Structure 1
Amino acid sequence: MPMRLVLRTRVRSVLDVQLGASWSMLRLDAPGMRSTHHDMSQFIETQLHVGPARVGISVDRVEVGIERTHPNAIYFLDAEVEVDVIQLRLTFYVEGRNLMNSRYYSQKSGSNIETLSMRY
C-alpha cells in the first residue's frame, strides 16, 4: 500500500521549491503471525534563479524498514550551478552528485516464513 505526496510551486519565480514524501507498508499475515515492513522517503528540491544564474540543491532522506529504536535513515545531497555567459550561446554548468558520500544502506530481516534483504 504505497502512498506519495508531492508539493511544488506552480509558477517559475526567483525561488522554486518542491518537496514530497512517500511511505509504503508491506504486511504479511499467516496463521498465528503478522509481519509488517515500513519504508519512508522524503525529498526537498530548491532552485534559485538570479539573473543569468540558477542554483539548485536537492536533499533526499531514505529510511528502509522504519524502526523507532534503531533509526537507519540515509541522506543524499546533490547540487548544481548553471550560468548563461552568452545568452543562448554559452552556458557553464557544474553538478555535484552524492555530496554527502553516502555509500549504501542495507536492511535484512527474517522470520519463520519470510526473509527480506534490501541493498542500495
Structure 2
Amino acid sequence: MEKQLLVPLLLACISLNIYATSVKTEDAAYKVVEKSIFKNKLTGLKADCIKYRINENAEQYEVNAFEIHNKKCGGDPSIERRMFGYLVDKNTGKLQTDAMRDDIDWDGDYHSIQ
C-alpha cells in the first residue's frame, strides 16, 4: 500500500521541479548554460567557437554568448557578435533565454528554457 502512494508523490515532486538545483558560482552558471545551448540546438557552432561573459547580481547570473571569430571558427576577428543571453536563477537553477527558437514567437524578451 505504501509503495502505491509513494510513486504518485514522487512523480508529482518531479513535475513540480522540487528538486531544482541551485547555481552558486559563475562556473556552474556557465556549465548549465552551455548544456542548455547544445540540448536545445540554439547554434551550429562548436563549443570552442563560443565565448561567454557573465554578470552577477544577488538573484541571478546573466550569461551572454558570443561567436569567436578566428581562423579555426571563421569570421572577421575584428567583429564580436552576441548571439543571445541567458538568465540563471541562483536559487532554483531556472533558465531563461532571449535566443530565437522554434517554440516561441521571438520578441527579444527572456523566456523559460530547459
- Give the structure-1-normalised TM-score: 0.29
Structure number having the greater helix percentage: 2
Structure with bigger gyration radius: 1
Higher normalized contact order (CA 8 Å, seq sep 6+, divided by chain length): 2
Structure number having the greater strand percentage: 1
- Give the structure-2-normalised TM-score: 0.30
